[in-house]
Amino acid sequence: MSKFEDIQALTAREHAEFEREFKKLLSTRVPLANNVIRYFLDRKGKQLRPLMTFLAVRLLGREWNNATIQGAVALELLHNASLIHDDVVDQSDERRGAASINHVWDNRVAVLMGDFFLSKCLEASNRTGSLEVSRVLCEMVTRLCEGELEQMSNARSHRMTEEGYFSVISGKTASLFAACLKVGALTVGATPDEVDRMGEIGEKMGQVFQIRDDIFDYFPTNAQVGKPTGHDIAEGKVTLPLLYALKTASPEESKKMFALLDDSSQLTTEDVNLIVDFAKSLGGIEYAQARMKQIGYEARKVLNTFPDNEGRAALAALTEFFMEREK
Ligand code: FPP
Ligand code: MG
């Protein structure tokens, strides 16, 4: 199994049910909200989170049920609520290669629509009938918020360690991937040990996903990747390639870079390009790629503690896809 479409095809039946429930839950009597929802549904993304929830069920060799679908709906809603809010926080006018909700409408609409998605997530979570699922979701949302806040305070100082970087990406991205596998497993009666191992796999897959995402930022905008080069740097975010370069460079060189970063609200395109080139010339990309592969390998090792089946092969292929994807 290699192509992303092949992995998706494996869960086509549950995905169709998911789509029906997702749309049903998002209905509202308010025309403005309906306009935003329609705009959002036309640009809905790859829907990796429900896919992971369904693959967790496959990995256990079980059959999905209504709680699995509701859990997947809750996770996808939460993911999208967080992106809608993130674009307000980052003052970003683009999402998935199109204008963000805050840009088409405004911050007030985006904040309230993010809240609307979040409340619908809670409704879907209730529909699973599982307090355990609710607990996993609550813990994850807390970690998401903590990750974002940690990233924000790091963006102010720029003196980040690799440990700090991993703490941020674990919070803002990996916690959600971990929750996807755990929720899928919980809806089919997995044991606590199975749920824990699922969490570990999801956590590592999420880190792989985020490191790849952070590497994208160092390359020219490609029509497939919905954001411009150096976007993170312009937002004051120090990610793994730059972090490595700052650690490896001579004291004079890093001092020069810190001087630029510390005044990141004033960065020109030339400054951003200079920082991108600095990170690349010191081997930052190769280092980030090596770390990503190492974590992918660790994910695979935990995955292999489960019996060999189509779910295991699909999750292994999905990890590979995360490392190689171009968007
Ligand atoms: C994208 O990161 C954003 C996230 C991974 C999480 C955002 C989380 C919040 C705003 C807090 C929690 C939200 C709710 C609804 C409780 P990025 O900015 O690095 O990536 P991008 O390029 O996709 O914007
Ligand atoms: Mg953002």
- Report the atom number in ligand 1 closest to the C-alpha of 235: 18
Q: How many Å separate Cα 165 from the centre of its chain?
A: 15
For the whole model, what pTM was predicted?
A: 0.95
- Cβ < 6 Å from ligand 1: which residues? 81-82, 85-86, 89-90, 92, 114, 118, 141, 144-145, 148, 172-173, 227
How far apart are the C-alpha atoms of 22 and 41, rounded to whole Å? 10
**Could you tell me the end-to-end alpha-carbon distance of the chain, in angstroms, rounded to an integer?**
20
Closest residue (by CA) to atom 13 of ligand 1?
Answer: 82
**HSE value, Cβ hemisphere, 13 Å, CA-based, for 167:** 12
Of 323, 284, 288, the C-alpha closest to 205 is: 323
Residue 159: phi, psi to the nearest 5? -90, 75
3-state SS assignment for residue 245 = helix
What tokens does 104 get? 């088409």
Q: Which residues pair with 95 in a beta bridge?
A: 98
CB neighbour list of residue 68: distance below 8 Å, 6 or more residues apart: 14, 53, 54, 57, 184, 187, 188
Element (H, E) at 207: helix 192-216
Element (H, E) at 99: strand 98-99
If phi > 0 it is left, if psi is from -120 to 50 it is alpha, else beta; for residue 177 that is alpha
- DSSP code of 95? E
- Are 161 and 152 spatial neighbours (Cβ–Cβ below 8 Å)? no
Residue listed under structure tokens 């088409």: 104
- Report the atom number in ligand 1 closest to the C-alpha of 232: 19
Pocket test residue of 86, 125, 218, 231 for ligand 1, highest count of atoms within 8 A of CB: 86
Closest residue (by CA) to atom 22 of ligand 1?
Answer: 227
> For every one of its 327 residues, what pLDDT tens digit does the chain have, with 9 covering 90 and above?
558 999 999 999 999 999 999 999 998 999 999 999 999 989 989 999 999 999 999 999 999 999 999 999 999 999 999 999 999 999 999 999 899 999 999 999 999 999 999 999 999 999 999 999 999 999 999 999 999 999 988 888 878 899 999 999 999 999 999 999 999 999 999 999 999 999 999 999 999 999 999 999 999 875 544 445 788 998 888 999 999 999 999 999 999 999 998 887 788 999 999 999 999 999 999 999 999 999 999 999 999 999 999 999 999 999 999 999 887
